Amino acid sequence: MMNSQVKDKPLEEMVESIQQGNTTMQNYLLDKYKPFIAKSVSEVCKRYIDPLRDDEFSIGLSAFNEAIFSYCPDKGSSFLSFAKLVVKRKVIDYIRYNQRRPTPLSLDESFDAEQMENPMELAAVIEKYNQEQDTIRRREEIMEFKEKLGEYKLTLVEITEVSPKHRDARVSAVEVAQILYDNSELREYVEVKKKLPIKDLLKKVEVSKKTLERNRKFIIAVFIVLSGDFIYLKDYLKGVG
Domain that holds residue 54: 4-112
Residue 32 is assigned to a structural domain of this protein: yes
The last residue of a domain, from among 80, 112, 144 = 112
* 240 pLDDT higher than 70: no
Q: What CATH number does the domain containing 102 carry?
A: 1.10.1740
Residues 165 and 70 in one domain: no
Does 215 have pLDDT greater than 90? Answer: yes
Q: In Å, how far from its chain's centre is CA 209?
A: 33
| 3-state SS, residue 186 | helix
Q: Is residue 44 part of a domain?
A: yes
Contact 224, 152 (CB under 8 A): yes
Q: Residue 98 falls within a domain, yes or no?
A: yes
Q: Which of 112, 128, 146 is the last residue of a domain?
A: 112
Question: Among residues 23, 33, 34, 30, which one has the least CA distance to residue 57?
Answer: 34
Based on the fold, state whether residues 10 and 108 are members of the same structural domain: yes
For residue 79, being part of any structural domain is answered with: yes
Provide the percentage of residues in the chain whose pLDDT is more than 90.
48
How much is the pLDDT for 191? 93
Assess if residue 118 is contained within a domain.
no
pLDDT in tens, 103-152: 444 444 443 333 334 455 545 554 665 676 677 778 888 888 999 999 99
CB contact at 8 A, 106 and 58: no
The per-residue b/e assignment along 39-48, b for 16 or more CB within 10 angstroms, e otherwise, is: ebbbebeeee
Q: Is residue 126 part of a domain?
A: no
Same domain, 18 and 85: yes
Give the burial string for 187-198 (b: 16+ CB within 10 Å, else e). Answer: bebbeeeeebbe
**Do 106 and 18 fall into the same domain?**
yes
pLDDT in tens, 69-114: 988 887 667 899 889 989 998 988 888 777 665 444 444 444 333 3
Same domain, 174 and 232: yes
Q: How many CB atoms lie within 10 A of CB 215?
A: 24
Give how many domains the chain has, as a whole number: 2
32 pLDDT higher than 90: yes
Is 141 within the bounds of a domain? Answer: no
Distance from C-alpha of 168 to C-alpha of 165, rounded to nearest angstrom: 9
> What pLDDT, on a 0 to 100 scale, did the predictor assign at position 211?
92
| Identity of the highest mean pLDDT range in 42-46, 58-62, 230-234 | 58-62
Question: Is 125 contained in some domain?
Answer: no
